[in-house]
Chains A and B, each alone.
Chain A
């Protein structure tokens, strides 16, 4: 269980020697249940990515706290793994060595980490590409490698920062389906940042809608769609249409209030 209590964050922004303070997040409160798939959606600049980095422990909160299973987050830990929007693969390593990277940092012996990495590559259909370099793969395959790297350390919580934001629409849909299938099998807690309403509703149990900067929680919505969800059927479901419309209106209202 991930609890976010009154979290706020500001940044110093320096433009031409004049420093000003930008409030990225103000008093964010919500919690994520175990094995829940939760999406966070909001306009760009609302601090979604900042919030995710704070849950990962990469940056500290100014005030408030984030608690995971009773323990306050102060640094990255083995219970969490991040999937990055720009994949963040090491260009000088092969796909296999990239997936091994996360295991290497956890001091797993060489033979074992190669085997684990191969297992995950296989699961994402990348076994034939293990000796390729990232730039030789398509965006979708690169992100599959990114996913394999995150899952290889077997985290309880998967933090995903607009992971499908930089691939084309068809690949995006395939990746969404693969992710759901995987989540159905492995049952992990997923916190998923997106700015696609469609994606948020299709994947999630609940959707957190955020306001523009400084980001706050505008509304938390349940997604009342049965699982397993098939991509084509779900999108024709009236409840799906209704919910995406509702999120759109909530976002619009939040943005109008802001402007």
Chain B
């Protein structure tokens, strides 16, 4: 764990160094040196522009992702529990799981207009299906011996669900939530670039078309950091909920 962190740091520092040197040597607008990007980032930060846009983007992300988790887990549990529901929805969920969600953006504009609702819908659609599928898999993979054991000691349907199925499926559910988080960030930026120019996506489009590469890279790097932090957040929650599983991985 510790040595991994050291290598991480070394990796970041060496990449930064190569970038800086390359940027200075090439002296082209296409690859600005890292120090210039840092300067642009500071300017965007001080002006308040970055934070305002970021807040807007994260608001969309939070609402869309929250809805995706709630409904994704719910639908996944229902599919895992009831054969009929699974067979009924199976086809669509699998088809939509790998479908390019950007194709639905024109439809969403027609349904929800150009407001925040559409962007929330994009975030939702990006992350919903992977959460459903992982939850479903988790429920279906529950060790049948454990269910038998519980029934033998007198558990009813309700107890079987809450005391066996749900905790047993939790690691898979959390894996789905983690994957969904990554997809949700993609959905957020995509919606802001293709649907209505807002938030952090709008900044990318603006600086891109103006060839303001230093600011452009500053925004892109910010998105990377945001993506990493949100993943980390999910990871921390995951570890709290399924600590027993993590311990297995460490040993």
Inter-chain contact B153/A90, CB cutoff 8 Å = no
Say whether A135 faces chain B, with CB atoms less than 8 Å apart: yes
Say whether B175 faces chain A, with CB atoms less than 8 Å apart: no
What residues make up the interface of A, taking CB atoms closer than 8 Å to B? Answer: 53, 56, 58, 76-78, 80-82, 84, 86, 88, 90-93, 101-102, 104-106, 133, 135-136, 153
Which of chain B's residues 133-167 have a Cβ closer than 8 Å to chain A? 143, 145-146, 148-155, 159, 163-164, 167
In the bound complex, residues from chain A placing their C-beta under 8 Å from that of B155 are: 105
User: Given A92-B167, A92-B244, A106–B149 Cβ distance below 8 Å?
Assistant: no
CB distance from A151 to the nearest CB of B (A): 12
Inter-chain contact B242/A78, CB cutoff 8 Å = no
Number of interface residues of B (CB under 8 A): 23
Most chain A beta-carbon contacts within 10 A, residue among B153, B155, B159, B245: B153
Number of A-B residue pairs, CB cutoff 8 Å, is 59
**Interface readout for B93-124 with A: 1 if CB under 8 Å, 0 if not?**
00000000000000000000000000000000
Inter-chain contact B247/A88, CB cutoff 8 Å = no
What residues make up the interface of B, taking CB atoms closer than 8 Å to A? Answer: 143, 145-146, 148-155, 159, 163-164, 167-168, 170, 242, 244-245, 247-248, 251
Inter-chain contact B145/A90, CB cutoff 8 Å = no
Inter-chain contact A105/B248, CB cutoff 8 Å = no
User: Given A76-B154, A105-B154, A153-B153, A58–B164 Cβ distance below 8 Å?
Assistant: no
Inter-chain contact B146/A90, CB cutoff 8 Å = yes
* A91, B249: Cα distance in complex, Å: 13
Question: Which residue of A80, A88, A91, A93 is within 8 Å of B149 (Cβ)?
Answer: A88
* A58, B164: Cα distance in complex, Å: 17
Inter-chain contact B154/A78, CB cutoff 8 Å = yes
